[in-house]
Structure formats: structure tokens, C-alpha cells
């Protein structure tokens, strides 16, 4: 923070209208005026924001203040809240998905300049509270920047997996999604109990007898040896193969 290097930084900037332009009125539609010393700096970078951005509304609810930002299209780009009593060094802004949208830096008196405002919603026009271009970073919203699944938002490195007939392919940096369907959906519906076991059916009983408490069957060699047994057991990977071998009678 600049005020850590230059302690009087906030006091110096409090005498300027910055980060607002010199030509703005700072007057709300309700007639209340934001003090020139209310903010001393800002940085706005909401996804989808245009080149011209401004504080579009301030909501005061007893001790809580909520600031919202918009661009020239009047789109709601983000908001941030703080209490009058907390005197925060910065007010973090985020959009409706929780992504960081920027920061507002209150002046040396904190948010006390709003203490005299009555509870309610105060709206502003672009001409009233437009911020200077040096604190606005336009971020186009082209391309995919996040994936929403229900109430969850995924951003950054996201792995996509095709399942149940959904095929994902990459073509020239783009993800193509083909929904070809699941050819085994009827079998899956008939086997709900084992539907998550990749559609395989497992041995459940032998002559009406079920497995032990660990889900296994134990096979023991008999003392009654025969020269040519009809049943043979062959261990295989992850299981046991039971074969019935014909007996040749001369």
C-alpha cells in the first residue's frame, strides 16, 4: 500500500477529487453529495466491464454501507460492503459469482463522511461518479472464464470428463461436446443397485447361500480326490474362473 511508504499519502490525496474526474458532480439522484475526501484511490477490473465505469449506487443500512459499480451500459459489475465503525483501509469488490472486481480506497477519515446520510438507496449516473480512466481496467468477457455447476463456481484450472455418453474433444484450443447417448442406459436402469459399478454384475448367491460379512465366497479343496474332476477353478486377475469340463467315457 502507498500509505505504508508515504504515511501522508491519504491526507495529500484527500484534497483532490481523484479517483473521480474533475467534471463529475458526485451528486446522487436523491440530492446527496459524496465528499471529495471520501475516496483517495480505486482500481476496477470487473469481467465484462467497459472503459467507462462509475459508482452506480450506495446503500446505507444503519452502520453498513454497500457500494456497487457499473459501466456505460448500466450493467451491475460488482459490489463491496463495509461498516462505518470499521474504518477499512480498502473495500474489496466482487461480482455476482464471487470473483474479484476491484477495490475502493477510503480517505483518511474512513467512511465517516457518510455518517450523516439517512438509511436508504442512493443512485448515481455515469456523469455524477465516473472514475478516471487510469483506475479502470476493461476486461472483455469473451471466452470461458468459469464454469457454474449448481451453486458452485469453478475457475482457474478445471478438468472436464465425459461420462454416460458425453464425448469431449479439443479442436484448435476449443472444447467440443458431443452427447451421443448411453447405449447401456436400459441395463443401468435395471441394475440400480450396481449402477455405479461400471455395469458389471457380481456373484450374489450360490445355491441360495450368500457371501460372508466381507462379501466373499471361500472355496476349499475336498478330500475326495477324483482322477478327472468335472469342475476346475482357475484364478484370474481380480476373480476366479469356474469351468465345467466334460468327462470322456470309454
| 112-162: pLDDT as tens digits | 889 889 999 999 999 999 999 999 998 887 666 777 777 777 777 778 887
Distance CA 160, CA 2 (A): 42
For residue 5, name the pLDDT band (cuts at 50, 70, 90).
Answer: very low
**Cβ contacts of 223 within 8 Å, gap of 6 or more:** none
Task: Supply the pLDDT for residue 33.
Answer: 93
For residue 247, name the pLDDT band (cuts at 50, 70, 90).
Answer: low
| 12-68: pLDDT as tens digits | 666 678 899 889 999 999 999 999 889 989 999 998 898 999 999 999 999 999 999
Q: What is the pTM of this model?
A: 0.58
Task: Supply the pLDDT for residue 2.
Answer: 47
Distance CA 89, CA 190 (A): 61
Element (H, E) at 225: none
- List, as one string, the DSSP characters of 7-60: TTHHHHHTTS-TTB-TT---B-TTS-B--TTSEEEEEE--BT--S-EEEEEEEE
Task: Supply the pLDDT for residue 227.
Answer: 67
Amino acid at each position: 500500500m502507498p500509505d505504508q511508504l508515504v504515511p501522508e499519502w491519504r491526507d495529500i490525496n484527500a484534497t483532490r477529487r481523484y479517483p473521480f474526474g474533475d467534471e463529475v458532480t458526485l451528486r446522487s439522484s436523491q440530492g446527496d453529495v459524496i465528499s471529495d475526501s471520501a475516496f483517495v484511490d480505486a482500481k476496477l477490473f470487473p469481467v465484462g466491464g467497459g472503459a467507462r465505469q462509475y459508482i452506480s449506487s450506495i446503500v446505507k443500512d444503519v452502520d453498513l454501507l454497500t457500494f456497487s459499480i457499473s459501466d456505460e451500459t448500466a450493467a451491475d459489475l460488482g459490489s463491496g460492503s463495509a461498516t462505518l465503525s470499521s474504518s477499512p483501509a480498502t473495500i474489496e469488490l466482487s461480482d455476482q459469482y464471487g470473483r474479484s472486481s476491484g477495490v475502493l480506497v477510503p480517505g483518511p477519515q474512513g467512511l465517516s463522511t457518510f455518517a450523516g446520510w439517512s438509511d436508504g438507496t442512493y443512485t448515481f449516473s455515469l456523469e455524477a461518479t465516473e472514475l478516471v480512466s487510469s483506475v479502470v481496467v476493461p476486461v472483455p468477457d469473451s471466452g470461458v472464464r468459469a464454469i457454474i455447476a449448481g451453486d458452485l463456481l469453478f475457475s482457474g484450472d478445471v478438468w472436464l470428463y465425459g461420462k454416460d455418453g458425453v464425448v469431449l474433444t479439443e479442436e484448435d484450443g476449443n472444447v467440443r461436446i458431443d452427447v451421443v447417448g448411453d447405449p447401456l442406459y436400459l441395463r443401468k436402469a435395471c441394475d440400480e443397485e450396481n449402477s455405479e459399478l461400471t455395469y458389471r454384475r457380481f456373484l450374489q448367491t450360490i445355491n441360495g447361500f450368500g457371501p460372508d460379512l466381507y462379501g466373499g465366497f471361500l472355496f476349499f479343496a475336498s478330500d475326495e480326490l477324483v482322477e478327472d474332476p468335472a469342475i476346475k477353478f482357475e484364478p484370474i486377475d481380480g476373480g476366479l474362473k469356474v469351468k465345467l469340463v466334460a468327462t470322456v467315457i470309454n
